[in-house]
Structure formats: structure tokens, C-alpha cells
């Protein structure tokens, strides 16, 4: 029996053995470390990570393609409109790391509120300043959670444990967390106005593009702290930079950035700079400014990156592929 050609892109060293040991018998796996390309034109199934862009221009060169399995919850890197019209199924991993990402969001938050990185850098330089290390307790502070999917709900659970007041905004409120974690749903404007800390957990959609912008920052408390472990496109990078410079925002913990792939692959993009649009070039310049700010912590999109979460991602992806082979799409995006 001819095996189903299945190509995994963005494959990390720690994924290789697990994928090969657990692959469906019906599949012939090809594991590629590079991001997505149409190099394997006869693949029936491909699997990509968030670092891969999957545009229609490349998909058109893959006539046998029937399934795209993203190894992530987000799927904004895939041209869904083309896939719908071409009859290509797209599946994702809807739940794998609510605990993992929520814990990381609080790692960023505590780093900022207790000035951990700042104190560490000063200590390395032989500077010890109790005055400069004065932080802030979370007890009694108001956290605004934008988006109460699986991750946002777990953020609420942790915040409740810290004794924080919790405001949330989501078009689809979760009744179960209102009483359990004392969550108060409100409008976005009221959340912006009343939160000491704002944590973003909304998906990247056309509607949510630059949800946090100049107007949003103008409504926030002075000295607010921003945490973003969702997607960079949700927040206007230029607006954030201005808010940080003015002092409106006291600190920001960012695991995601707009156009973050350019920073990760700067050498590559420098060889094809004409392919980068003006907005991404501007955002990249601002991102470098953010990296130099002492009240900003930037991490390279690693909030998901725990051993347990990676195993869950791979298991769900393999289950999605098995489901497709049986004619039972499990976690289809549309």
C-alpha cells in the first residue's frame, strides 16, 4: 500500500525522535527543520509551527495537499480563505498549554513587579540599591484579562490565588469562572480604565488586529503594566512604545511581537529586504528599541515551551493526522 506523504516543517531536534516513534503506519514522514516551503510538492499532509507562513502562492504548487496540521492553537499564519476554496482541511491544537502559558504570563508579571531582571543586571555590575529595587505586591491589584479562553481562564485562576481583583473582557463570557474565581466581566473600555495590569489572551483575527492602540492606551491608568503572551498583532507596537516613553505604561512583558520572525531571522531578511513591507520594517526598528528598555522584558515566543506542553502538542497533532486518515477530522479550524 502506498503510504501517505506527510511533511513536518519547523521540526526541532527534541521533536524528531518522538514523531518517528509515534507516527501512523499509513504515513511516510519527512521531517524538515526549515520553515514551510513548497519544496515537497506532492505532499498530502503538512504540519507547520507558528514560525511558518503558509501563503496561497506556495499552496498553489501543492496539488495533492489535503491537510494542514498546525502544531499550535493559533492559525493566523495559514491562508484559510485559500484552503477553504481549495478543499484543504486545516486542523490545530486547541488546548495544550493553558497552564504553561498562564504560568509564563505570571513569570513575566512578577519579573516586572519585583524588578528581578533589573536587580540581577545591577548586581552583576556591583550595584546594590534597595531604593531602586522597590517593587509592587499583586495582592489587591486589579488585573484585566482580555480573552477568557482556556489560557485566560487559567490566568484568572492564578490571579485569584494571588488575591487579585479580576476584570475580564470577552465577547463570549464564561459563566463557570465568574463565581469560581470571582471574575467580573465588563466592557473593554471599563477594563482598560480600571486595571492595574492588563494581560492579553485574545486570538489574532482581523477583528482583533491592533485591538490595543493609541486610543486604548489613552484610556488606561497611569503606570499600568502590560503582558502579552498571545500574538504581537493584537497590539500596535508604535502605540506601546509611545506609552512606555511617556510613562503611561510602567512596564511590559512581551513574549510576542509584531513581525517577530524578522528579529529571529534578521540575517535571512537582510538578503531579501525588498520583500519586507514598510510596516514590518518600522515595527522591527521599534522592537529593537523595546529590547533596550529597562522596563520591558521580551522573550522569543517561548511561553508554550515546556516539556509537558510540547508532548501534548505532538500527541494532538498526531491524533489529528490519524483522524484525517480515518475520515474523522478532530480539531478542524473551519
301 catalytic? Reply is yes
Where in the chain does DSSP place strands (E)? 4-8, 27-31, 45-48, 67-70, 89-91, 142-146, 165-169, 183-185, 197-200, 224-228, 249-254, 296-298
125 catalytic? Reply is no
The strands making up 67-70's β-sheet, listed across from edge to edge, are: 27-31, 4-8, 45-48, 67-70, 89-91
Alpha-carbon Rg of the chain, whole angstroms? Answer: 21
Q: How far apart are CA 57 and CA 36, in angstroms?
A: 12
Cβ–Cβ under 8 Å, residues 289 and 303: no
| Residue 241 CB neighbours (<10 A) | 20
Determine which one of 71, 174, 201, 301 is catalytic: 301
Helices 150-161, 98-113: crossing angle, 10 deg rounding: 50
Q: How far apart are CA 125 and CA 129, in angstroms?
A: 12
Determine which one of 15, 231, 233, 331 is catalytic: 231
Catalytic residues: 231, 260, 301
Amino acid at each position: 500500500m502506498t503510504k501517505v506523504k506527510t511533511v513536518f516543517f519547523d521540526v526541532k531536534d527534541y521533536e524528531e525522535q518522538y514523531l518517528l516513534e509515534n507516527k501512523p503506519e499509513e504515513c511516510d514522514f519527512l521531517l524538515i527543520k526549515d520553515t514551510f516551503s513548497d519544496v515537497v510538492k506532492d505532499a498530502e499532509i503538512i504540519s507547520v509551527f507558528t514560525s511558518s507562513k503558509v501563503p496561497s502562492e506556495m499552496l498553489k504548487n501543492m496539488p495533492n495537499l489535503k491537510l494542514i496540521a498546525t502544531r499550535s492553537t493559533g492559525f493566523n499564519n495559514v491562508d484559510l480563505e485559500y484552503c477553504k476554496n481549495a478543499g484543504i482541511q486545516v486542523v490545530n491544537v486547541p488546548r495544550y498549554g493553558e497552564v504553561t502559558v498562564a504560568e509564563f504570563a505570571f513569570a513575566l508579571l512578577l519579573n516586572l513587579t519585583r524588578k528581578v531582571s533589573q536587580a540581577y543586571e545591577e548586581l552583576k555590575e556591583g550595584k546594590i540599591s534597595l531604593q531602586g529595587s522597590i517593587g509592587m505586591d499583586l495582592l489587591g491589584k486589579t488585573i484585566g484579562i482580555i480573552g477568557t479562553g482556556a489560557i485566560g481562564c487559567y490566568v484568572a485562576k492564578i490571579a485569584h490565588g494571588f488575591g487579585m481583583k479580576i476584570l475580564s473582557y470577552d465577547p463570549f463570557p464564561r459563566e463557570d469562572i465568574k463565581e469560581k474565581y470571582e471574575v467580573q466581566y465588563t466592557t473593554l473600555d471599563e477594563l482598560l480604565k480600571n486595571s492595574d495590569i492588563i494581560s492579553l489572551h485574545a486570538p489574532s483575527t482581523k477583528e482583533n488586529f491592533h485591538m490595543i492602540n493609541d486610543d486604548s492606551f489613552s484610556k488606561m491608568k497611569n503606570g499600568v503594566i502590560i503582558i502579552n503572551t498571545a500574538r504581537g498583532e493584537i497590539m500596535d507596537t508604535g502605540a506601546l512604545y509611545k506609552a512606555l516613553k511617556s510613562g503611561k505604561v510602567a512596564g511590559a512583558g512581551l513574549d510576542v511581537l509584531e513581525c517577530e520572525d524578522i528579529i529571529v531571522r534578521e540575517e535571512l531578511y537582510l538578503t531579501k529586504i525588498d520583500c519586507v513591507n514598510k510596516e514590518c520594517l518600522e515595527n522591527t526598528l521599534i522592537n529593537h528599541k523595546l529590547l533596550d528598555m529597562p522596563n520591558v522584558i521580551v522573550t522569543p515566543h517561548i511561553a508554550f515551551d515546556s516539556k509537558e506542553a510540547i508532548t501534548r502538542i505532538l500527541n494532538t497533532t498526531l491524533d489529528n493526522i490519524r483522524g484525517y486518515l480515518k475520515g474523522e477530522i478532530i480539531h478542524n479550524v473551519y
